């Protein structure tokens, strides 16, 4: 018997969303800083290292020559994040520890009395020749080193072609200013990320609580999010839109937290009164997720409120129709029902894919946005793969049913 675990699907899912949203803020910032610094100095390549406790972490790298040779994506894939000890043995480490800028004409000809050495491993691995290198400490308002900006191979156009030259000391003040501006932006981005993380953490707990109540649909949240992403990708949504959709879809039934067990877990059909109570899960969800300070909350609220609206206007709670229903709500409406039909519920067995497809066809332009139905039907193989990968197992139901599996060690 597997140990009782709160590491549910929803938890995993939402943590991935968390990692994505936090790395992107900082990642984009570092890319931008590096690009500007390369433009200012005519550097062919460059890297950014960030101080993280007692190590210096290599975060971002750009290389004009390798991008041209291999393509942008292949070049990016070459550079894996790694750590350097925070000491004077590497050039970047020396800069971080000493807080001094280091301008080296040729890294293969460093004065032997210098405390640092150039590590040629990455040159060899990438078939690249580093010569000139300018490394600057990025210091925040408190004069603490946030990271190191390292620029490689200042390049000058000559009649004979491009030549690598030493970094011109004329450019030092302006790159230095850019490095300190970057440091301040990095500190701010980290603060924003910490704040966002604590926000998202509360939302995550809501998702877990909702899943815990909704015993019969252990992997429902994961599947609905994955189906929604499948549609979003086919609609050409960008990364940011997909991330919001991922969260919104994951939180769609949060309002079921407020529905009594006697209704939520009723094995048979609901009476009209029970049905009316059940429909309040849209409003309850929208109330729980209300907020205008965070795009993820706003998307989640919108989906919670609108995922039972119908294209023909006969849905609830507002009877919106057509494109008056927000797109995320229209997407979630379709994939939520697709999942309800193709899975077992307390009140119904799982239907065959044939029957599911038939119902979707009948409801095209009635319950559902016809464009979205077409996309789902065009990608049925991929949807079915999601269904199989995240199928509910007896063990999934068991962990919600059998409280005696819960031990004190699991909660402390």
Residues near Fe ion (CB under 5 A): 253, 336
Whole-number Å distance between alpha carbons of 329 and 79: 39
Residue 41's binding partner out of ligand SIN, Fe ion, ligand C2E, none, with CB under 5 to 8 Å set by partner kind: none
The CA distances from residue 162 to 298, 359, 403, in Å, are 51, 64, 70
Can you tell me which of 43, 171, 231, 278 binds ligand C2E, judged by CB under 6 A? 278
Number of residues that bind ligand SIN (CB under 6 A): 18
Nearest residue to 396 (alpha-carbon basis) of 209, 214, 216, 207: 216
Tell me the CB-side half-sphere exposure of residue 212, using CA atoms within 13 A: 14
147 touches 138 (CB < 8 A): yes
Cβ proximity to ligand SIN, 71 vs 85, nearer residue: 85
Taking the complex as a whole, how short is the minimal distance between the CB of residue 151 and ligand SIN, in angstroms?
11
Can you tell me which of 170, 269, 408, 411 binds ligand C2E, judged by CB under 6 A? 269
Can you tell me which of 326, 335, 338, 363 binds ligand SIN, judged by CB under 6 A? 326
Neighbour tally for 254: CB within 10 Å:
28
Site string for ligand C2E, 324-363 (x = CB under 6 A): ------------xx--xx---xxxx----------x----
The DSSP secondary structure of 311-344, one letter per residue, reads TTS--SSS---GGGS-HHHHHHHHHHHHHHHHS-
Taking the complex as a whole, how short is the minimal distance between the CB of residue 359 and ligand C2E, in angstroms?
5
Q: What is the phi-psi region of residue 324: left when phi exceeds 0, alpha when psi lies from -120 to 50, beta otherwise?
A: alpha
Exposed (0-12), middle (13-18) or buried (19+): which is 73, by Cβ within 10 Å?
Answer: exposed
Residue 119's binding partner out of Fe ion, ligand C2E, ligand SIN, none, with CB under 5 to 8 Å set by partner kind: ligand SIN
Nearest residue to 168 (alpha-carbon basis) of 183, 151, 181, 180: 151
Taking the complex as a whole, how short is the minimal distance between the CB of residue 312 and ligand C2E, in angstroms?
13
The DSSP secondary structure of 148-215, one letter per residue, reads EEEEEEEEEEETTEEEEEPPPGGGHHHHHHHHHHHHHHHHHHHHHHHHHHHHHHHHHHHHHHHHHH-G
Residue 345's binding partner out of ligand SIN, Fe ion, ligand C2E, none, with CB under 5 to 8 Å set by partner kind: ligand C2E
Residue 306 in the binding site for ligand SIN (CB under 6 A): yes
Residue 215's binding partner out of Fe ion, ligand SIN, ligand C2E, none, with CB under 5 to 8 Å set by partner kind: none
Cβ proximity to Fe ion, 93 vs 248, nearer residue: 248
Cβ proximity to ligand C2E, 188 vs 271, nearer residue: 271
Number of residues that bind ligand C2E (CB under 6 A): 14
Residues between 65 and 84 that touch ligand C2E (CB under 6 A): none
Residues between 90 and 119 that touch ligand SIN (CB under 6 A): 90-92, 102-105, 110-111, 114, 118-119
Taking the complex as a whole, how short is the minimal distance between the CB of residue 212 and ligand C2E, in angstroms?
15
Residue 121 in the binding site for ligand C2E (CB under 6 A): no
Can you tell me which of 55, 270, 287, 405 binds ligand C2E, judged by CB under 6 A? 270
Is the bond into 343 cis (omega within 30 degrees of 0)? no
Whole-number Å distance between alpha carbons of 216 and 401: 9
Whole-number Å distance between alpha carbons of 259 and 281: 7
Q: What is the phi-psi region of residue 161: left when phi exceeds 0, alpha when psi lies from -120 to 50, beta otherwise?
A: left
Considering only 65-73, 86-94, 200-208, 393-401, which stretch makes contact with ligand SIN by CB under 6 A? 86-94
Taking the complex as a whole, how short is the minimal distance between the CB of residue 150 and ligand SIN, in angstroms?
6
Residue 308 in the binding site for ligand C2E (CB under 6 A): yes
Reduce the DSSP state of residue 217 to 3 states and report it: helix
Taking the complex as a whole, how short is the minimal distance between the CB of residue 159 and ligand SIN, in angstroms?
27
Nearest residue to 282 (alpha-carbon basis) of 261, 262, 252, 323: 252
Taking the complex as a whole, how short is the minimal distance between the CB of residue 253 and ligand C2E, in angstroms?
7
> Which residues contact ligand C2E (rule: CB under 6 A)?
266, 269-270, 278, 308, 336-337, 340-341, 345-348, 359
The binding site for ligand SIN (CB under 6 A) comprises 90-92, 102-105, 110-111, 114, 118-119, 122, 150, 302, 305-306, 326
């Amino acid at each position: 018997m597997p140990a009782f675990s709160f590491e549910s699907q929803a938890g995993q899912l939402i943590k991935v969303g968390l990692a994505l949203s936090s790395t992107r803020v900082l990642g984009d910032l570092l890319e931008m800083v590096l690009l500007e610094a390369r433009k200012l100095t005519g550097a062919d390549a460059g890297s950014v290292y960030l101080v993280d406790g007692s190590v210096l972490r290599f975060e971002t790298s750009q290389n004009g020559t390798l991008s041209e040779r291999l393509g942008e994506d292949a070049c990016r894939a070459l550079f894996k994040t790694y750590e350097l000890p925070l000491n004077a043995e590497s050039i970047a480490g020396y800069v971080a520890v000493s807080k001094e800028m280091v301008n080296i004409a040729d890294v293969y000809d460093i004065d032997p009395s210098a405390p640092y050495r150039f590590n040629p491993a990455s040159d060899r691995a990438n078939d690249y020749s580093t010569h000139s290198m300018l490394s600057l400490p990025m210091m925040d308002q408190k004069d603490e080193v946030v990271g190191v900006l390292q620029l490689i191979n200042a390049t000058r156009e000559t009649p004979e072609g491009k030549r690598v030259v030493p970094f011109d000391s004329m450019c030092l003040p302006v790159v230095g200013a850019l490095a300190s501006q970057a440091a301040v932006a990095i500190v701010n981005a980290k603060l924003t990320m910490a704040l966002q993380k604590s926000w998202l953490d509360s939302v995550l707990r809501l998702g877990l609580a909702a899943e815990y109540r909704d015993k019969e649909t252990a992997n429902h949240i994961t599947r609905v999010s994955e189906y929604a992403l499948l549609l979003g990708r086919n609609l050409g949504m960008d990364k940011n839109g997909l991330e919001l959709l991922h969260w919104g879809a994951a939180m769609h039934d949060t309002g079921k937290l407020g529905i009594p067990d006697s209704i939520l877990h009723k094995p048979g059909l609901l009476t009209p009164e029970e049905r009316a109570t059940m429909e309040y899960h849209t409003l309850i969800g929208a109330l729980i997720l209300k907020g205008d300070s965070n795009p993820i909350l706003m998307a989640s609220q919108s989906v919670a409120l609108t995922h039972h609206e119908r294209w023909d206007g006969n849905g609830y709670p507002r009877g919106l129709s057509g494109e008056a229903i927000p797109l995320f709500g229209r997407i979630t409406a379709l994939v939520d029902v697709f999942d309800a039909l193709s899975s077992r519920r307390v009140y119904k067995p799982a239907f065959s894919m044939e029957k599911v497809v038939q119902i979707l066809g009948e409801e095209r332009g009635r319950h559902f946005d016809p464009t979205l139905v077409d996309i789902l039907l065009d990608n049925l193989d991929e949807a079915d793969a999601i269904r199989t990968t995240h199928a509910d197992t007896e063990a999934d139901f068991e962990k919600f049913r059998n409280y005696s599996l819960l031990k004190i060690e699991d909660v402390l």
